[in-house]
Amino acid sequence: MTITEPLLAVAGLTVRFRLPDAEVHAVTDLHLAIRPGELLAVVGESGCGKSVLAHALLGLLPGNATVTGSALLRSGAAPAIDLLTCPPRQLARQVRGRVVGLVPQSPATSLTPVRTGRRLLVETLRAHGHTRAQAPAAADRLAAEVGLDPADLDRYPHELSGGMAQRLATALALAPDPPLLLADEPTTGLDRPLVDHTLDLLRRRCDAGAAVLLITHDLTAAQRVADTVAVMYASRIVEHAPTEALFDTPGHPYSAALLDALPQRAFRPVPGHPPMLTDLPVGCAFAARCDRATPACRVQPAFTGTGVGRVACHHPLEHAELRAEVPA
């Protein structure tokens, strides 16, 4: 059996932000690989570094950021490009919106205010091979695909609700049919039927051969469509597992705590608060909130392995133990 080469292979991605009197550890030593036809969800509480990850891959970080590591993008027969060292002009012309699409977290602020949704969408389609005659019908089809009434394309961004702007941003990201899509909280502001509609649309794109990195704080969304789930905590991936395994038998106490917080489970919030990314502890960053912590956890980092199957914990949950806790 031949294993498909990753379309994107990220190794050791680390992002720091310089502030006048501190340094923000936004992403630390992050490894992930994503193949055509695969949907990888990155989940975690607000502020753990998910959006910074997406922005780092697309060269969209501000000037106070320092980025290290590598992010090799292989598309077609062309040599791999390292997104982290790629010249900004090349990223803008050859990669962003072409090979790698982004559904941004705050579409209302990223949509050009002086053009209607239709004009934005038609321009994007025209820039990616649709003729003047084809583009309007293709725009209507895309609007319908994302669950937007084509008539709403004639509105300006400020006339759209948050959920409509979100769907327009998704349509714009899908228009060039990119082989890799970074979807950063693509279901914000949508009601549950539209959330499911958007997730299923991403899944269909994957099934047609695209790779999708879904960034979300909504575990139920990840469970619905992801092949594997990477759990981020305080700038690091602490567990990466096949979706079913993560939801049935999480190995990291933080993953288990996140699952416990779901309304359909124990509905028990994760105790305490995440640490400041300007002041991370030397040992495990979850130690202050973890009921399995031992003195060693507070002094020794718990970084083990990379890729699917990784659990960065000194005392991971044993499956037998978990089964005992699950009510019959």
Ligand X SMILES: Nc1ncnc2c1ncn2[C@@H]1O[C@H](COP(=O)(O)OP(=O)(O)O)[C@@H](O)[C@H]1O
DSSP string, 254-311: HHHHHHHTSTTTT--PPSS-PPPTTS--SS-TTGGG-TT--HHHHHS------STTEE
Q: Which residue number, 23 or 177, has a Cβ lying nearer to ligand X?
A: 23
The minimum distance between CB 234 and ligand X, in angstroms, equals 9
Q: Which string of DSSP letters, residue by residue, matches 195-251?
A: HHHHHHHHHHHHHTT-EEEEEES-HHHHHHH-SEEEEEETTEEEEEEEHHHHHHS--
Nearest-approach distance from CB 128 to Mg ion, in angstroms: 27
From the list ligand SF4, Mg ion, ligand X, none, partner contacted by residue 109 (C-beta under 5 to 8 A by kind)? none
Binding-site member from 14, 28, 51, 255 for Mg ion (CB under 5 A): 51
Q: How far is the CB of 102 from Mg ion (least distance, A)?
A: 12
* Contact between 129 and 123 (Cβ < 8 Å): no
Distance CA 178, CA 209 (A): 10
- Minimum CB–partner distance for residue 233 and ligand SF4 (Å): 9
Shortest Cβ 234–ligand SF4 spacing (Å): 11
SS3 164: helix
Site membership for ligand SF4, residue 292 (CB under 6 A) = yes
Among ligand SF4, Mg ion, ligand X, none, what binds residue 262 when CB lies within 5 to 8 Å by partner kind?
none
Exposure of 61 in the CB half-sphere (CA atoms within 13 A): 26
Applying CB under 6 A, what is the total number of residues that bind ligand X?
15
In DSSP terms, 216 is beta-bridged to: 43
Q: Are 8 and 80 in contact (CB under 8 A)?
A: no
Is residue 277 at the binding interface for ligand X, with CB under 6 A as the rule? yes
Shortest Cβ 288–ligand SF4 spacing (Å):
8
Contact status: 75 vs Mg ion (CB under 5 A): no
Q: State the nearest-atom distance from the C-beta of 284 to ligand SF4, in Å.
A: 3
Q: Does 47 bind ligand X (CB under 6 A)?
A: yes
**63 counts as binding ligand X under rule CB under 6 A:** no
| Per-residue three-class SS string for 74-124 | CCCCCCCEECCCCCHHHHHHHHECCCEEEECCCHHHHCCCCCCHHHHHHHH
Among 51, 116, 198, 306, binds ligand X (CB under 6 A): 51
> Of 215 and 297, which has the nearer Cβ to ligand X?
215
45, burial (CB in 10 Å: exposed 0-12, middle 13-18, buried 19+): middle
Are the beta carbons of 181 and 210 closer than 8 angstroms? Answer: yes
Nearer to Mg ion, 54 or 135 (CB): 54
Rounded CA separation 262/243 (Å): 16
Instruction: Give the interface segment with Mg ion, choosing from 105-113, 116-124, 271-279, 317-325 (CB under 5 A).
Output: 105-113
Binding residue for ligand X (CB under 6 A) from 52, 219, 225, 226?
52
Can you give the binding site for Mg ion, defined by CB under 5 A?
50-51, 105
Can you give the binding site for ligand X, defined by CB under 6 A?
17, 19, 24, 26, 44, 46-52, 62, 64, 277
Can you give the binding site for ligand SF4, defined by CB under 6 A?
253, 284, 286-287, 290, 292-293, 297, 302, 313-315
